[in-house]
Structure 1
Amino acid sequence: MQGQRTTPSRYRAAKLLQVLVIMAAIIRHAPGQPIRACDSSGRSAACTCKPLIAFVICTRPELTELPSGIPNNTISLRITGNQLTSLPRMAFHQLSQLQMLTLSSSQISEIKLGAFETLSSLEWLNLEGNMLENLSVGVFRGLVNMWKLDLGGNRIESLPVGIFSGLPSLRQISLARNGIKTLDHILPSLPIHVQSLELDGNYISRIDRNVFARFQNLSSLVLSDNGFGNLVPGVFNGLISLSRLYLNGNNITFLPPDLFLGLEELGSLTLDNNRLVQLKGNRFGDHPSLTVFSVANNNVSTIEAGLFGRFQKLNSVNLDGNNLTSLPTGIFHGLVKLKSVRLENNRLHTLDPDLFQDLRNAWLIKLGHNNIKTIPSGFFSSCLKVGYINLQGNDLTYLPPGIFDNLTSLQFLELGDNKLDNLDANVFRDLHDVWHIYLQGNGIKSLPSTIFNGLQMLRLLYLNDNKLSVIEHGTFDGLPMIENIYLQDNPLTNITCEMLPSQNVSTSLTEINIDCTCEWEPVYDCPEFSWVGSKLECSNPLRLSSDSLDKVPKNALTCAAPRMVCFNQIGWVALSVLALLSNSLISN
């Protein structure tokens, strides 16, 4: 006999019982007593306990005091998103094995002395996102093994000298997103052995010379999003171990000579989202360890020739979002270790044929959204390891023959939103590993039937919003990994079964996006229609949007051109509104 079916009344009764159990767990403790964190089931109204990994997480929003019953062997305790306002003395006295404690996104404004005194094993304390404003000396007493402290997102403006005394292991401190206005109220209290300091998102308006001089062990300094202006020479004096410096999101318009002199260990320099207009070599030292240089989203229009030549270990250069119209000759020469070059959203219109001649290890090249009209022949010939090329949003009308030859590692190619009207049959012939090709938003009128031959790894193909009227037989044959083809917003006619992928070959096909016009009627008679019809998905007209063709009756297909369909639905509405406005103005 099969098991009895649960009746609706039984189901409701079971749900009611479950609710009552939860309510009982919430209210069964006596008033004034804390909720118990863990019961025999490993779950309570406030917490989830995972004894196998000694992990407890408590996220009940209504929690106003620390839960009781936390297992003594807990290694990680996370109490977040609640109404806790203070931490009492000896708050965690039974948790001597605790290594990670998170008390974030709450309302904590007070921590009693001795709150953490018994947590000698604690390594990471996270107090981010509370309402802490004043911290007393001794508040972190006993945390002898703590190496990371997060005080970000509070209301701290100053710290008393001695607050970090007796914390020999402390190496990382975050004071991001507080109310700090001057470093004079913070830096004297910090231990000299600190290695990472986050001060981003504060209100620091000025940084004086030698202010960091005593922090010779500091390796990472974050000063982003404060709003200070130009820096004075010598501001980074003494930071002989600094390897990462973040200055993005301020109001820097000018870098004084030798600003970064002496930072011999500097490996990453970020100056994004400032107002710099030029980059000159004498603003920097030699920086033999520099691997990351980012000045994105500034107003840079001039770069001194040879600026990057001194940084022979450069791995990444980001110049996105500036006002560059050209680049100095040889700007990247000798940078054989460079793997990422980002030049998007500038105003580049011509490219030096030898710009990338030394970039034999480059993987990412982004030149999108410029004013580039032509790509020199052989432009990428040295970039044999490139995996991602972005040329989207330029003014390209033509691709030289062989422009992508030998780029057998290329996986992503973005050519959308240009002015290409035809493509050479062999333009993609060596792209054996390419996954995605973007050709949308051009003026392509036809495709050679062999253009995608050999692209065994191609998964996504964007051909939408072009001027394709005919797709030749066999164009999509031989694409075993293809998943999506985008054909919508093309004036396709004379559609036949032979222009579509084959079920035997393209076994990974998920969908082909099309405009469901009456030009697709012949496909209903294709031998594989039960398969291909389920893959053809209507993008237009709106009434058929997201329907697969096998679910759309023939007589539901529209015979209007796709762009006219779009105009009929939207354009006529706009014209009607304009007419009404005109009549209103005339009548007045």
Structure 2
Amino acid sequence: MILRSLFMSALAVGLVLLISRPTDCQTPTPWSPVCPYECVCFWGASIDTKVFNGTYMNCTFRRRGPFPVGEVPEDTVILDLSFNEMGKIPTGAFDKILHLQGVWLEGNHLSDTKVSQGVFDPLKYLQIIDLSFNDYTRIPQNVPETIKQWYFVTNKITHLSSTDLDRYPLLETLQLSNNNMTYIPVGFFAKQKLLSVLQISSNPLTSAGTPHGVFKDAISLSSLELKSDKLTRIPSGLPENLQTLDLSTNNIGRLYSSDFVGISRLGGLELSSNEISAIGTGVFSSLINLKTLGLSNNYLTHLTDGLFDGLASLGGLELSSNEISAVDTGVFSSLINLKDLGLSNNHLTYLNDGMFDGLASLESISLYGNKMIMISDNAFVPLRNLATIDLDSNSLETLQYEVYYNPPFKNLTSLFISSNPWNCDCRLRWLRELVDLKPYLMLPEFVKCVQPPYLQNLTWDILFPEDFVSSLKQSGKMILRSLFVSALAVGLVFLIGTDCQTPTPWSPVCPYECVCFWGASIDAKVFNGTYMNCTIRRRGTFPVGEVPEDTVILDLSFNEMGQIPTGAFDKILHLQGVWLEGNHLSDTKVSQGVFDPLKYLQIIDLSFNDYTRIPQNVPETIKQWYFVTNKITHLSSTDLDRYPLLETLQLSNNNMTYIPVGFFAKQTLLSVLQISSNPLTSAGIPYGVFKDAITLTSLELKSDNLTRIPSGLPEALQTLDLSTNNIGRLYSSDFIGISRLGELELSSNEISAIDTGVFSSLINLKTLGLSNNHLTHLSDGMFDGLASLESISLYGNKMIMISDNAFVPLRNLATIDLDSNSLETLQYEVYYNPPFKNLTSLFISSNPWNCDCRLRWLRELVDLKPYLLLLPEFVKCVQPPYLQNLTWDILFPEDFVC
């Protein structure tokens, strides 16, 4: 395991390993150090953009025991012995690694007495040392003077001397967090003219322990972190070059006007999680370059005018989790460049006109978790560049039209309004209409109505704008979201406003339990006329005489009607689509001739009923017929002769065992056919049964009982789904004559053998699914002809071997899924013979990989193309034993040895 903050230099990798045929584990390299068995050695490292040329030896966690004297390669420049439990460092430990520039020694129980005096003396080039998580009680004086970065976190230091750092004038970064220091003496940083980053967090430091001017000598200090200490005031006499100051999680109770004088270059100030209840006048006036200010989780109650004067450069202001209940008009007026404002979890009840004056640049405002009951019409007028507004978890019952449209927001992309007690009457209709006009704006399934009672707890995704009324008679109605309001039609129906009595040009009489509105869009086709939807919520007989005469779409699904009486459709002559699923209808419960008046009917859905045969009383004009989940057992060759205009037919989930030749004789326009989940065997699909369907482009026969690929398929076919059958073998003649096929799904069958050349005629195939079968080998020639293939799924087979040339015909592949097989290795040639030029996704997890030198090329590939194996943390080694269960994200190519 290695620290991922250290990674292989790409340049160095190029010097080390020439990717050729790395199946020979003895291939010589120009760099071959002797490395301790438990460690990893490789060439080069990059730390904080600085490249170190030489050996990087990493033994983090995996090694236990004393310092590896004599085992470290002499050209080592980075040595990581973190958490090795060494206990001590003996004399002479570094005598032969004279080029060392960085050493990590965290977590080794080291202390003042357990590191030999002078042990670091040979290290004339050392720049980085990490002694964190040890037992030191004082700053050691035996570290080389060349040190630039020193990490000394989580030790037991209690006392600092003013001369402790005098030996280290080159220090640039110093971390002393999580010790027991209570006092920093003046002069402690006297020689630290180059120090730029200082962290002394999580110590019991009080304000008395940071005397005035203690940091003044650190003239280059740009970042100071003193968080989680016990400060009660801002430290005084801070260096003028300071750019970032983090004082969060202290006990600071007040900010005084002199606190930030002299540090005008400050760009980031973090004061969250203190006890600030008062801020003096002009506190921030000198911070003319401040970009971010964090004041969250304090005790502020009132934002007074002038509070933020001088902060013209501020881009982010966080005031969440205070007790703010009052905001003066114009308090933000000087924040002309503010982009993000956080006011969540406060006690605001109103947003008044003028509250946000001056915030013309604001892009995001969070008001989550306040107690707001009202937003004035003009409150957001200054904020017309907003992209995000969060009003979640307030007490809003309504929202005026003017809040959004006065003038309209032009850039708004996210509006959060859930967990409010919305009264879904006509005053909110404009907002529900907005959801249809701009569906990206919010997640309506999380927005609930509390009032009126008949809409209580209903979410906005199952309601239409027409449900937002002031009369119980026009109450809302759940609808199927597969039918949605045409945006054009909505524009004709409602003039967006807040007057519930505004007349509209269309006002049908609609049954109480249903919803009627103008227009619907189904599969991109727009239907102009009334759409009446009574799905689920209505129960009883067919609503004879109650359907508006201009209805074009009628949905009576799951109404439990039981029958359709004579004359049911006599006055709705313009009907083009009718949904009648789930009504216990059958051959005998629908009157003969009942559909005769419907001369324009194109869509009928009779799914989830009790039909035992294909009815012959449906209009001949039908183009889309859904007949799923009935009780059909027998088909006649003439059943569909009456319906020559059919384009889509779904007969899935019935009890059919045989499709007679001639069944599709008149279906010359049929393009989509689904006959899945029937007890159909291969014997039940005779040769040529589909040949008359000359325009068939999509055929789904999944979850049947087929044992072979149906023969005589129409040549226009583009999509074929035969998944979840009992097919055991693919024969060389199976796909002849369907060269236009673009998608073939054969997953979840019992395929264990594939004839050579079986796919050779599928020159246009883009996607091939072979997952969850019984394949053990991929042989040469198996995929011949698939030059256009872009995606292949072989997930969940039993593969133990892929031949060198198996994928040679598939050089346009973008995705290969080999997850959950029995592969132990993968030859270099599989990928590089010749190389894939378009491959973007390779899935290889849940295989028993033997991570030896034969797989090194593949691990190298992960570094060269990190997008290829998106989640290397899911790829595990099973062999060799010392790498067992280690994932590829924590291993380097050098770990893959023989």
TM-score interval, normalised by the smaller of the two chains:
0.5 to 0.7
Match of 2:334 among 406, 422, 430: 430
Distance 1:447 1:76 in 2: 69
- 8 A contact 1:160–1:189 mirrored in 2: no
Q: Corresponding residue for 2:386?
A: 482
Q: 1:339 to 1:182 in 2, by over 3 A?
A: same
Unaligned runs of 5+ in 2: 1-9, 47-51, 450-455, 469-474, 478-898
Which letter does structure 2 place at the counterpart of 1:288? K
Instruction: Answer yes or no: is the 8 Å Cα contact 1:511–1:535 preserved in 2.
Output: yes
Q: 1:454 to 1:400 in 2, by over 3 A?
A: closer
2:224 matched residue in structure 1: 317
Given candidates 130, 133, 140, the residue that maps to 1:222 is 130
Post-superposition CA distance 1:225-263 (Å, at most 9, x none): 22x04126xx23462211111011222222244222221
Name 2:59's counterpart in structure 1.
151
Alpha-carbon displacement from aligned partner over 1:113-141 (angstroms, at most 9, x marks no partner): xx99xxxxx63389xxxxxxxxxxxxxxx
Q: Report if the CA contact (8 A) 1:384-1:409 is conserved.
A: yes
> Which one of the candidate residues 373, 387, 400 is aligned to 1:469?
373
Aligned equivalents of 1:324 and 1:371: distance in 2?
Answer: 11
Corresponding position of 1:304: 211
Match of 1:202 in 2: 108
CA contact (8 A) 1:416 1:441 kept: yes
In the alignment, the residues of structure 2 paired with residue 498 and residue 357 of structure 1 have an alpha-carbon distance, to the nearest angstrom, of: 44
1:400 pairs with 2:345: no
Cα pair 1:374 1:399 within 8 Å, conserved:
no
Report the counterpart of residue 380 of structure 1 in structure 2.
284
The structure-2 alpha-carbon separation of the partners of 1:390 and 1:181, relative to structure 1 and needing over 3 Å to count, comes to same
Decide whether aligned partners of structure 1 residues 213 and 53 sit closer, same or farther in structure 2, where only a CA change above 3 A counts: closer
Once the two structures are TM-superposed, the CA of residue 197 in structure 1 deviates from its matched residue by 0.9
Shift of residue 293 of structure 1? 1.2
**Conservation of the 8 A alpha-carbon contact between 1:478 and 1:505:** no
1:123 paired to 2:123: no
What secondary structure, in the 3-state scheme, does the structure 1 residue paired with 2:417 have?
strand
**Residue from 24, 28, 32 that aligns with 1:94:** 28
1:11-22 to 2 correspondence within 5 Å?
none
Aligned to 2:263: 359
Partners in 1 of 2:460 and 2:430 — Cα distance?
A: 19
Point out the more displaced range, 156-165 or 526-535.
526-535
Question: Residues 514 and 178 from structure 1, CA distance in 2 versus in 1: closer, same or farther, beyond 3 angstroms?
Answer: same
Q: Is 1:212 the equivalent of 2:120? A: yes
Could you give the per-residue CA deviations for residues 453-475 of structure 1, whole angstroms, max 9, x where no partner exists?
A: 44344232111222222101132
> Does the residue aligned with 1:499 lie in a helix, a strand or coil?
helix
Structure 1 partner of 2:411: 507
The match for 1:135 is: none
1:456–1:75 distance in 2 versus 1, CA, 3 Å: farther
Cα distance change of structure 1 residues 484 and 273 upon mapping to structure 2, 3 Å threshold: same
Alignment of 1:175 with 2:95, yes or no, is no
1:191 pairs with one of 79, 88, 97: 97
Q: Between Structure 1 and Structure 2, whose CA radius of gyration is higher?
A: 2
For the 8 Å contact 1:364–1:389, the answer to whether it is kept is yes
Deviations 1:480-514 (A, max 9, x none): 44232121232224531112366953333222223
Change (3 A) 1:163 1:189: farther
Give CA deviations for 1:399-437 in whole Å, capped at 9, x if unaligned: 332222342321211111112111122122232332221
Q: How many Å separate the matches in 2 of 1:151 and 1:458?
A: 50
Name which of structure 1's ranges 423-432 and 503-512 shifts more when overlaid on structure 2.
503-512
CA contact (8 A) 2:347 2:371 kept: yes
Alpha carbons 1:411, 1:433 under 8 Å: kept: yes
* CA separation of 1:378 and 1:152: change in aligned 2, threshold 3 A: same
The one-letter code of the counterpart of 1:439 is: L
CA deviation after TM superposition for structure 1 residue 372, in Å: 0.9
Give, in angstroms, the shift of residue 291 of structure 1: 1.0
Distance in structure 2 (CA, Å) of the matches to 1:349 and 1:547: 45
Determine the C-alpha separation between the residues in 2 that align with 1:258 and 1:55.
44
Matched length: 441
Distance 1:291 1:529 in 2: 51
What SS does structure 2 have at the residue aligned with 1:523?
helix
**C-alpha distance in 2, partners of 1:429/1:248?**
43
2:352 — aligned with what?
Answer: 448
2:290–2:311 CA contact under 8 A, matched in 1: yes
Q: For the residues of structure 2 that align with 1:545 and 1:151, how far apart are their CA atoms?
A: 59
CA distance in 2, matches of 1:314, 1:270: 13
CA distance in 2, matches of 1:191, 1:475: 68
Partner of 1:68: none
What code does the residue aligned with 2:313 have?
A: S
SS across alignment from 2:327? coil
Check conservation: 1:54, 1:74, Cα contact below 8 A: no
Q: 2:191 aligns with which of 270, 275, 286?
A: 286
Letter in 1 for 2:144: L
**2:389 aligned counterpart, secondary structure:** strand
User: Which residue matches 2:317?
Assistant: 413
Distance of aligned partners of 1:488 and 1:160 in 2 relative to their CA distance in 1, 3 Å threshold: closer
Q: Residue 394 of structure 1 aligns to which amino acid in structure 2?
A: N
Distance in 2 between the 1:182 and 1:545 partners? 67
- Over 3 Å counting, the alpha-carbon distance change for 1:331 and 1:452 in structure 2 is same
Matched to 2:401, the amino acid is C
CA distance in 1, matches of 2:157, 2:386: 48
Q: 1:182 to 1:490 in 2, by over 3 A?
A: same
- Aligned to 2:396, which of 463, 488, 492? 492
Tell me if structure 2 keeps the 8 A contact 1:462–1:487: yes
TM-score, with normalisation over the residues of structure 2?
A: 0.44
Which secondary structure state, in structure 2, belongs to the residue aligned with residue 500 of structure 1? helix
CA distance in 1 between partners of 2:17 and 2:63 (Å): 32
Change (3 A) 1:221 1:545: farther
CA contact (8 A) 2:186 2:214 kept: yes
Aligned CA distance change for structure 1 residues 424 and 180 (closer, same or farther; 3 Å): same
Residues 153 and 176, structure 2, Cα contact 8 Å, conserved in 1 = yes
Please state how far the C-alpha of 1:156 moved relative to its aligned partner.
4.0
Cα distance in 2 between the residues matched to 1:266 and 1:351: 32
Is 2:71 the partner of 1:163?
yes
Contact 2:187 2:217 survives alignment (8 Å): no
- What is the CA distance between 1:357 and its match in structure 2? 1.3
Identity value in percent: 21
SS in 2 for 1:279: coil
Q: Residue 159 and residue 186 in structure 1: after superposition, are their counterparts in 2 closer, same or farther (change >3 A)? A: farther
**Matched AA of 2:301:** T
Which of 155, 167, 178 in structure 2 is aligned with 1:250?
155
Of residues 220, 228, 231 in structure 1, which corresponds to 2:138? 231
Given candidates 245, 252, 257, the residue that maps to 1:341 is 245
Q: Deviations over 1:538-561 (max 9, x none)?
A: 65669969865966954689xxxx
CA shift digits 1:318-365 (9 cap, x unpaired): 01001112245x332xx2210111111011112231111112111110
What residue identity is the alignment partner of 1:497? Y
Decide which moves more: 379-388 or 444-453.
444-453
State how far apart, in whole Å, the 1-side matches of 2:93 and 2:162 are: 26
Aligned to 2:18: 73
CA distance in structure 2 between the aligned counterparts of 1:290 and 1:541, rounded to whole angstroms = 56
**8 Å CA contact retained: 1:326, 1:349:** yes
